[in-house]
Amino acid sequence: MADSDNNQDGANSSAARTDEASQGASASSSVAGAVGMTTSGESESDDSEMGRLQALLEARGLPPHLFGPLGPRMSQLFHRTIGSGASSKAQQLLQGLQATGDESQQLQAAIEMCQLLVMGNEETLGGFPVKSVVPALITLLQMEHNFEIMNHASRALTYMMEALPRSSAVVVDAIPVFLEKLQVIQFIDVAEQALTALEMLSRRHSKAILQARGLAHCLLYLEFFSINAQRNALAIAANCCQSITPDEFHFVDDSLSLLTQRLTHQDKKSVESTCLCFARLVDNFQHEENLLQQVASRDLLTNIQQLLVVTPPVLSSGMFIMVVRMLSLMCSNCPSLAVQLMKQNIAETLRFLLCGASNGSCQEQIELVPRSPQELYELTSLICELMPCLPREGIFAVDAMLKKGKFFFLY
């Protein structure tokens, strides 16, 4: 199931990039004129040009063995030439983006900017004017009456972060505009493209999204989006929970019910992102008993129990370990949740996870379900947290005596 999901995501992603590349065919002559060679055939062009250069130098008397050390330098020269050409092209397109009042020119510039970025990388886009292009694209993204301009502006910002990852520090200024597209959805394509851009931004700038109430906005119309857009929205939520503090709990509180329900969804990636949300919340709030109770107050424990025993399993081994560890933390720091789990027959759940389904007959020997050492460790830790604390008096007082620093032993 996971392989098919990954293949679907890859196919959708490659299809989007292929669309931009195919749209670029009609404008490739203008791009090639500015860049000096066709960017889509960069590797083949480099090889052919290097071969011609080598033949020319050998014809003029350069010994073949000297060309080896010169090869990398000549290759760098080609890349610099391409980069300078791309920078020049970007400056031309920037003027088109800023052509206020001429929407046809702005749209054409946005389309060609997408084509330039989708086929570029940090080498070929050296000197790209990020700080000038981003504000221009944000302005176009706010043109509510023109779907095409908004859609291509959003795509251009997404492609920019793919080709130039460090540009996200500038694109972060577009977060409020992206979130506006999710509050009142006029065009579903623009909203889903905004989710794609926000997911990329959330990898480095999750705090900015969280404090702009982005987590709630991304989940507001979750069921109306395609499955890929839903995955992006839940990935944003998971990233926003990564470094959340107790003072920021109100940013996520209203979304807990929706996230809890999402644990029962059939899509594996959506479920894993949701589990990651709760695991990060529990980890960040582990010393806040009141907040832990609020996180678990919406059938979270019930849905987690059902998720652990579902067949065939939805969770990967790593995600299973994380979820069981989350339950251990909750029981350790909030005893009332441990009591609640006991009332929900967590003992039967643990028996199933360790021994499998019961056949109703008494067995002298119990065979454990094959599990990794880490899985068994986390299950055992959870069992320990569910058990009552031992007394601290009488023979059990020896535990306090064995703590480091209490006694010195002489040999």
Across the range 11-32, mean pLDDT stands at 47
Regarding predicted confidence, which is higher, 8 or 340?
Answer: 340
The b-or-e profile of 29-53 (16+ CB within 10 A means b, else e) is eebeebbebebbebeebbeeebeeb
pLDDT (0 to 100) of residue 411 = 42
* 142-198 residue pLDDT tens: 999 999 999 999 999 999 999 999 999 999 999 999 999 999 888 999 999 999 999
- On whether residue 66 sits in a domain, the answer given is no
pLDDT (0 to 100) of residue 216 = 96
Across the range 21-40, mean pLDDT stands at 41
pLDDT (0 to 100) of residue 127 = 87
* 211-241 residue pLDDT tens: 999 999 999 999 999 999 999 999 999 999 9
pLDDT (0 to 100) of residue 404 = 58
To 5 degrees, how large is the angle CA 267–CA 270–CA 276?
140
To 5 degrees, how large is the angle CA 183–CA 186–CA 187?
110
Distance CA 282, CA 293 (A): 10
Across the range 22-46, mean pLDDT stands at 43
pLDDT (0 to 100) of residue 16 = 53
- On whether residue 152 sits in a domain, the answer given is no
* 368-403 residue pLDDT tens: 889 999 999 999 999 999 998 777 777 777 767 776
Question: Per-residue pLDDT for 81 more than 90?
Answer: no
Q: Are 292 and 286 in contact (CB under 8 A)?
A: yes
pLDDT (0 to 100) of residue 356 = 83
Across the range 97-113, mean pLDDT stands at 95
Mean pLDDT of the residues in the chain? 84
Question: Per-residue pLDDT for 24 more than 90?
Answer: no
DSSP, res 54: H
pLDDT (0 to 100) of residue 403 = 66
* DSSP assignments along 281-349, one per residue: HHHHTTT-HHHHHHHTTTTHHHHHHHHHH-SS--S-HHHHHHHHHHHHHHHHH-HHHHHHHHHTTHHHH
Structure tokens at 282: 């529990």
pLDDT (0 to 100) of residue 49 = 59
Regarding predicted confidence, which is higher, 357 or 345?
Answer: 345
Q: Which residues contact 257 (CB under 8 A, 6 or more apart)?
A: 298
Regarding predicted confidence, which is higher, 11 or 403?
Answer: 403
Q: Are 220 and 255 in contact (CB under 8 A)?
A: no
pLDDT (0 to 100) of residue 298 = 86
Nearest to 250 by CA among 219, 295, 283: 295
Neighbour-count burial of 168, counting CB atoms closer than 10 A to its CB (0-12 exposed, 13-18 middle, 19+ buried): buried
DSSP, res 391: P
pLDDT (0 to 100) of residue 42 = 46
Percent of all residues in the chain with a pLDDT value above 90, rounded to a whole number: 64
Residue 79, Cβ neighbours under 10 Å: how many?
A: 15
Report CA 203 to chain centroid distance, whole Å: 6
- Indicate the pLDDT class of residue 36, thresholds 50, 70 and 90: very low
Segments forming the whole domain that contains residue 278: 252-357+368-401
Question: Per-residue pLDDT for 119 more than 50?
Answer: yes
- The CATH number of residue 312's host domain is 1.25.10.10
Q: Are 196 and 157 in contact (CB under 8 A)?
A: no
Across the range 324-329, mean pLDDT stands at 98
Question: Per-residue pLDDT for 276 more than 90?
Answer: yes
The number of folded domains in the chain is 1
Question: Per-residue pLDDT for 34 more than 80?
Answer: no
- On whether residue 161 sits in a domain, the answer given is no
Across the range 47-61, mean pLDDT stands at 64
pLDDT (0 to 100) of residue 2 = 44
Q: Are 47 and 78 in contact (CB under 8 A)?
A: no
Q: Are 217 and 181 in contact (CB under 8 A)?
A: no
Nearest to 148 by CA among 116, 108, 206, 119: 108
What global pTM score does this model have? 0.77
Nearest to 124 by CA among 201, 41, 48: 41
Nearest to 313 by CA among 278, 274, 353: 353
- Indicate the pLDDT class of residue 363, thresholds 50, 70 and 90: low
pLDDT (0 to 100) of residue 1 = 45
Question: Per-residue pLDDT for 303 more than 70?
Answer: yes
Lowest mean pLDDT among 80-89, 129-138, 166-175, 317-326: 80-89
pLDDT (0 to 100) of residue 357 = 77
Enumerate the H helices of 98-187 as residue ranges: 103-118, 130-141, 147-163, 168-171, 175-183
Neighbour-count burial of 396, counting CB atoms closer than 10 A to its CB (0-12 exposed, 13-18 middle, 19+ buried): exposed
